[in-house]
Amino acid sequence: MKINIVPRHEPVGQGSLASPSRRVALGALLAGAVTAGAWTNASAAAALRAAGSAGTPHPAGFTRPDLKILTMAADIIVPVTDTPGAVAAGVPAFIDALARHWMLPEELAQFRAGLAELDKSAQQRYKRGFAACTPAQAADILQALRASSPYEGRTFELAARIEDPKAPFYLRLRDLVVLGYFTSEIGSTKELRYVPVPGRFDGDVDVKTWPYQNVI
């Protein structure tokens, strides 16, 4: 079996278009590059609409207002770039599912309190809910939260930090969005190169010919 040949990855506007599939992807994202902000917001808005009206509690997961905050945060943490972002990859639903059956009660409580805190910060700074902020405003709020979220732990693998009871809300939010994205089908195939059956191993290749990780 031959290795899956994936074309060179180049930033938008610099590279040659090496294959039909890449051309399709680049076509979409070149269009997106012009209107990236609008695309992001439209995507987020659609997701927010899907989350339904405010105030309806989820059985054991997040309330719908919480989901809106989470969706906005996910969109800022892993935004649309030359590839789709966390919202398109279904990350809010993934984290909501974790809240329902995976998070420990104290983790869920921390997460809910953290989302509420994001909303409160947005009200204080911008007189609107976090979900209603512009991407720039939401990024400012997340940046401030990041700066005020010390973490002394040291881990070498993301899942270990996600499980660390000492991880502050900011890290837990950021890490779960990152994990959700890079394990999604979109993250695995558009941002990473998921190669289930490589067929061969080449120990020393020029990073320009294969600028990807080899994860499964």
Partner 1 sequence: MIQTTEFDAIVIGSGITGGWAAKELTEKGLKVLMLERGRPLEHQKGYIHEFTPPWQAPDRGLPDRALDAREYEIQSKIERGAFSWANRQYWINDRQNPYEQLKPFRWHRTDVLGGRSLTWGRQSYRWGNDDFLANKRDGHGNDWPIRYADLEPWYTYVEKFIGVSGAPEGLENFPDGHYLPPFEMTALEKHLKRSVEAKWKDRRVTIGRVANLSEAIDDERGRCQRRAICNRGCSFGAYFSTLSSTLPAAQKTGLLTVRTGSVVEAIDVDPQTKKATGVRVIDAKSGERLRFGAKVIFLCASTYGSLQVLMQSKSAAHPNGIGNHSDVLGRYLVDHAGVGVFAEIPGFENHNYSGRRPTGILVPRFRNVGGQDADADFTRGYGFQGGAMRDDWTNTAAQSDDFGAQMKHNIARPGKWIAFLGAFCEQLPQAGNRVTLNENKRGGFGLPQLSFDVAYGENERRMKIDAAKQAEQMLVAAGAKHVVTIPVRTVPGVSIHEMGGARMGHDPAESVLNAHNQVHGVPNLFVTDGSAMASSGSVNPSLTYMALTARAADYAVAQLKAGAL
Cβ-proximal residues to 123 (8 Å cutoff; 6+ apart), any chain:
129
Q: Among 65, 85, 92, 114, which residue sits at the site for partner 1 (rule: CB under 8 A)?
A: 85
Amino acid, single-letter form, for residue 34: V
Question: Judged by CB under 8 A, does residue 203 bind partner 1?
Answer: yes
Other CB atoms within 10 A of residue 13 CB: 9
Q: Which of 46, 50, 54, 104 binds partner 1 (CB under 8 A)?
A: 104
Q: Does position 171 bind partner 1 by CB under 8 A? A: yes
Sign of the CA dihedral 137, 79, 88, 183? negative
**Which pair of structure tokens corresponds to residue 168?**
């502050």
- Residue among 39, 94, 111, 130 that touches partner 1 (CB under 8 A): 94
Inter-helix orientation angle 169-182/135-147, to 10°: 120
CB of 151 to partner 1, least distance (A): 7
Considering only 79, 88, 92, 118, the residue that binds partner 1 (CB under 8 A) is: 79
Q: Does residue 2 interact with partner 1 by CB under 8 A?
A: no
Kind and range of the H or E element at 25? helix 20-34
**20 forms part of the interface with partner 1 (CB under 8 A):** no
Q: Say if residues 71 and 48 touch (Cβ distance below 8 Å).
A: yes
Q: Which residues of 164-181 are buried (b: 16+ CB within 10 A; e: fewer)?
A: beebbbbbbbbbbbbbbb
* Minimum distance from residue 70 beta carbon to partner 1 (Å): 14
Kindly report the number of other CB atoms within 10 A of residue 203's CB atom. Answer: 4
The footprint of partner 1 on residues 115-144 (CB under 8 A) is 139, 142
Please identify which residue in 76, 99, 115, 131 interacts with partner 1, judged by CB under 8 A. Answer: 76
Instruction: Decide: is 165 part of the binding site for partner 1 (CB under 8 A).
Output: no
End-to-end CA distance of the chain: 18
Q: Which stretch binds partner 1 (CB under 8 A): 49-57, 63-71, 118-126, 190-198?
A: 190-198
d(CA 137, CA 141): 6
Shortest Cβ 83–partner 1 spacing (Å): 8
Binds partner 1 by CB under 8 A, chosen from 24, 46, 50, 159: 159
Q: Is 92 in the site for partner 1 (CB under 8 A)?
A: no
Binding footprint of partner 1 on the chain (CB under 8 A) = 1, 3, 76-79, 81, 85, 94, 97-98, 102, 104, 139, 142, 146, 149, 151, 155-163, 170-171, 174-175, 177-185, 188, 191-192, 194-208, 210-216
